[in-house]
Amino acid sequence: MNFLRHGYVTGPLLGALWMFVLATTVAVTMSFASGDAFRPSILFSLIWGAGLGAFAITLPALRAAQIGAGVVIALVTYLGFGPVLSGADAGTMPVLIGALILAGCAAVSLWVILDDCPAGPLNRHEFEGAVIRFLTGFGYIFFTAIVVIPFYVMLMTSLKNQAELIQNPLDFTIDLSQGWDLFRSYDELFRQFNFGTYLLNSFFISVLTVFITLLFAVPGAYAVARLRFSGRAAFSRSILLIYMVPMIVLALPIYIAFSMTGLRNSLSGIIMIYPVTTIPVALYMLQGYFRGLPAEIEEAGLMDGLSRLKVIWKITLPLSLPAMASVSLYVFMIAWNEFLLAFMLLDDPSKFTLTRGISSLNSSEIPRQHLMAGSVIATVPIMVLFLGLERFMTKGLTAGGVKG
Amino acid sequence: MTDAVPPKGTGPLARREARLAWGLLSPTIIAVSLVVLLPLLAIFWISFKPVSLADLRPPEVVLREDLRGDDKAVGDTPSIRYRLRNSSQEQPIRGVSFSDTLPDGLTVTELDPRCTLDGTALACDLGDWEGGFRDTLMIPVTVDQTYLDNGIEPDQTDPVTAGRAVNVLTSGNFTFENFARIFDGDEFWGVLGVTLFYAVFGTVGALLFGLFAAMLLNKSFRGQGILRGLYLFPYVSPVIAVAFAWVLLFDPFSGSANALLIQMGVTTEAINFFGQRPLALIMVTVFEIWRYFPLSFLFILARMQSIDTDMYEAADMDGASPFQQFWYLSVPQLLGILSVLFLLRFIWTFNKFDDIFLLTGGNAGTRTLTVNVYEQAFAVSNIGAGAAVAVVIFACLLAFSIFFLKFISQEEGL
C-alpha cells in the first residue's frame, strides 16, 4: 500500500474516483431535473479526473489554477467529451447548466480533498486525511441522494399524469403554466375518494391514542421509577420484552375476536387497540426520564402534605413537559403511520384511516399519481411536525426507538 | 429492658407504597394482558384447531317466510311457507327449533306434526340437522274478516330460530394438521432461510450505513441540523407512502430507476426489481436498510457525541493516524451500542411484516415467516395454519429473548 502514499499517485487516483462520483451525481440530477438524457462516461471521468488530481497536487494554492481547471472541464463537457455525456436531443440550456455545475463542483471540491497533500511522498496523516475527505464528500452525496430521490419521485409523480409518466419516466419537469390544475390529483382525492374524512379519522385516532397512552403510561412509569415494590426489576425488564412480540402474531387473534364481537370495522375497535401497542414504549421512555428527576423535590412536596397523586400532578408532570412532548410526538407518529391493524380491521371506506385509504388506491384502475398524491398527503403532516419539533422528536426517537 | 432489634419484614409504610405502585400499574397491566397476553394464548389454542376463515361465523339456521296463494277474500286458503336451511355446508346444528306469531284472523286447518299451536303462537321442533340441510314447512290456513281488516301479513312478524351449533373455536376438537402442513415440504425451510437472510443482512446493513452516516455528522458545521433531519425522513414517514414510492421508482415499465439505468448503459432492458428471484429479496433487504439506517445512525451519533474528545487529542499527540483513531478508539467505544442495536434490530427485522407485504406481497421468493402468517390465514383462508406459523415465530423469538436478556443484563444503559 505504500506506493499509494505519494502525491502523484494519491492525487490522480482520488481525482479520478471523485470525478466519477461527481459525474454520476450530475448526470442523475440533470436527468431527473430536465428529463433529457445525461450519462456519466467512465473513461472520460477517469482521464479528466486523474488529470485534474495531478494538477491540484502540483498547484495546490493557486486560485487561478482552480478557475482555469473549472473552465477546461466545463468546456470539454459542453463539447461532448467530458465526464458527463448528454444525448443528442438534449436541450442546450440543460447541457450548459450541467457542464457548469460539474466544473464548479469539481474545481472547488477536488482542491479541498487534496488540501494538505504535497507533491511528493505523503505521510500517513496526509494520505488518510485526503481519503477521509473523499469518503466524507462521497457520503454526503450518497446519503442525500438515496434519501431525497424517493421523496422527489413521490412528490413529482403526484403532480403529473399517467400518460406523461409512461412516455418518459425520467421527465419530472412540471408545467407551471397549468397553475392550480397541477394539483388535480389532490383535488380528486379529496372530492371523490373521501380523503378529507380519512385525514380527520387518522388525526382523531392519533390524538386520542396519544391521550389514552399518556393516561395509562404516566402513572405506570412513575410507579416503576419511584416506588419500591417487589417485582419492580422484573417488571421494568418485561416491558422491553413486549416490544418483541410481532404485531402480526397479535393481529390474527385480534381479528378473530373483533370479527366475533362485531368490533371489526369500527373506529372504537381501533382506538381500543392502538394505545396498547404504544403504552409499553411510552412507559419505558417516561420511566427513564422520571428517574432522572431529583427525588428531593417530590419528597419536599410529600412533607408539605401533598398526596402521591398530587405530587405526580403538581410536581412531576410540570417538570417532565419536554419528555411528555417527545413521547407524545413519538406515539403520534406510530399511530399515524400504523398500517397493519388498520388494513386488517377496517373494510368500510367511510371509516378508513389515511394509511388504509392509500392502500385502497393501490389498484390498476386508479392512476399512479393518485397513489402518490395520497402518499404525499400522509407524509406531509408528519414531516411538518417533525421539522417543527425536531429537537423533541430526535430525543423521542433515541429514547423509544428500540421499537420498529 | 428488651433489646432493640431492627424491624423485620415489610412495615405498613412499605406495604402502602407497594399497594399504590400496583394500583398505578394495574391499568397498564390489565390493558396489556387483554391485548397482548390473551391473544398470545389464543394463538397457541388456535394453532391446534382446524379453523378456516369461513368458520369464524358459526353455523346458524336461516329462515325465510312467505305466503303462498290468495289471501284477498274471506274463505281463501293460502299456505304459510317456511323455508329453512343450515348456513354451513359442513357443520351440524343440534336441536333446531323456531317459533312465530301468526297474525289474527288466520285459522290453521292442518298442523305439521312437528309443530304445536297455542293461540296464535306457533312453535316447531325440527330436531338435528346435518351440514347443508334444507327443509320446507307448509301450514295451510283459512282467511277470516279480521285478517283482512288488520292488514298484517304473516311475514311481518319475525320468527325466532334456535339451535346449538358446535363452534370449532371452542370445541374439544384438536389437530396437529396445521403444524404438519407448515413443516411439510421444502417451503418452510425456504421461508425460514429468506427470513434469516432478510433479518441478518437488513440489520447489518442498517448498522453499517448508520455508522457511516453518524461519522459524517459527528462534527459541527452549518446545515448539520438540516442534514440530520433529512436523513431521518425514511424512518419517520409512513411505511405505506415510502414503500409505494419505491415500487413506483423501480417499476419495470414506467419506473425512473430503470429508465436511468438504461440511459446510462448499465443495462439494455428493463429489470423487474421486485418481481424476480433472487433480486426481489435483495431489493426488500435494501429497502429495509434504507428505512432503518436513520435509527442506528441516531443512536450511534448520540453515543459518539458522548465520547470524550481528550482521548482523541491524546492519540493525536501520540501520532495516531485518523484510521487508527477510528479503529482503536472509536470502535471499542461504540461496540456496546452496536451490539445492543444489532440484537434489537435483528429481532425487529425478524418480526417485520408491512414492508415486504407492501413491496412484493411475499412473491418472488420474499416470503418471510411473518408474511407467511398472513398468507396462510387470509390468502389460503386457513386460520389454523396461520396460527401455527405464528407459534413458530414466537418460539424463535423466545429463543432470541433468552439470549438477549442474558446479554443485555451485562450492557448498561438499556
- Cα→Cα distances B139→B80, B108, B124, Å: 5, 7, 11
Residues B388, B247 share a domain = yes
**The pLDDT value given to residue B214:** 93
User: How does residue B175 score in pLDDT terms, banded at 50, 70 and 90?
Assistant: confident
Number of C-beta neighbours around residue A302 at 10 A:
15
pLDDT tens-digit map of B113-135: 888 888 778 888 878 877 778 88
Q: Are residues B158 and B230 in the same domain?
A: no
Confidence band, pLDDT 50/70/90 cuts, at residue A398: low
Quick one: B185 and B136 in the same domain? no
Nearest to B223 by CA among A218, A15, A202, A144: A144
Q: Give CATH for domain A186-400.
A: 1.10.3720.10
Number of domains in chain B: 2
Q: Which of B109, B138, B165 is the last residue of a domain?
A: B165
Domain match, B319 and B262 both: yes
Q: How far is B383 from chain A (nearest CA, A)?
A: 8
CB pair distance less than 8 Å for B36 and A355: no
Name the residue range of residue B341's domain: 177-408
**Chain A residues with CB-CB distance to B232 below 8 A:** 386, 393-394, 397
Facing A143 at nearest CB: one of B17, B31, B231 = B231
Cβ of residue A104 closer than 8 Å to a chain B Cβ:
no
> For B45-81, how does the pLDDT look when each residue is reduced to its tens digit (9 = 90+)?
888 888 777 777 767 778 888 888 777 778 788 888 8
CATH of the domain at B213: 1.10.3720.10
Q: Are residues B143 and B193 in the same domain?
A: no
Q: pLDDT band for position B185 (50/70/90)?
A: low
Interface of A with B in 209-238 (CB under 8 A): 215-217, 219-220, 222-224, 227-230, 232, 235, 237
A400 has a pLDDT exceeding 70 = no
For residue B394, how many other CB atoms are within 10 A of its CB?
Answer: 18
Is the distance from CB of B139 to CB of B115 less than 8 angstroms? yes
Residues B240-291: pLDDT tens digits? 999 999 998 998 888 888 888 888 878 888 888 888 888 999 999 999 999 9
Same domain, B113 and B217: no
In a domain, B90, yes or no: yes
DSSP 3-state percent helix, strand, coil across chain B (nearest 5):
55, 15, 30
Give yes or no for A297 touching B (CB within 8 A): no
Q: What pLDDT sits at residue B260?
A: 86
Residues B141 and B262 in one domain: no
Q: Is the pLDDT higher at A205 or at A185?
A: A205
Predicted pLDDT at A399? 62
Residue B377 lies in a domain: yes
The pLDDT tens digits for A7-24 are 888 888 899 999 999 999
Residue B409 has pLDDT above 70, yes or no: no
Evaluate whether residue B39 is within a structural domain.
no
Q: Are residues B215 and B151 in the same domain?
A: no
Quick one: B72 and B141 in the same domain? yes
B314 pLDDT higher than 60:
yes
Distance CA B57, CA A259 (A): 8
User: What distance separates the 2 farthest-apart alpha carbons in chain A?
Assistant: 85
Domain boundary among B118, B141, B165: B165
pLDDT of B412 reads 45
Average pLDDT, chain A: 85
Grid cell for residue A1: 500500500
In the predicted model, what is the mean pLDDT of chain B? 84
- The complex's ipTM works out to 0.91
Clarify whether residues B161 and B184 are in a common domain: no
pLDDT of residue A397: 65
- Where among B135, B165, B195 does a domain terminate? B165
CATH number at residue B104: 2.60.40.1170
Residues B221 and B146 in one domain: no
Residue B90 predicted with pLDDT over 80 = no
Q: Is 80 exceeded by the pLDDT of residue A37?
A: yes
Please give the average per-residue pLDDT across B190-198, as a whole number: 92
Residue B357 has pLDDT above 80, yes or no: yes
Of A242, A248, A371, the CB nearest to B36: A242
Domain with CATH 1.10.3720.10 in chain A: 186-400
Check whether residue B360 and residue B283 sit in a common domain: yes
Phi first, then psi, for residue A64 (nearest 5°) are -60, -35
Task: Please check whether residue B12 lies inside any domain of the structure.
Answer: no
Tell me the C-alpha distance between A391 and B65, whole Å: 67
Give domain status of residue B316, yes or no: yes
Q: Give the closest-approach CA distance of A29 to chain B in angstroms.
A: 11
Please report the sign of the dihedral spanned by the C-alpha atoms of residue B368, residue B288, residue B236, residue A280.
positive
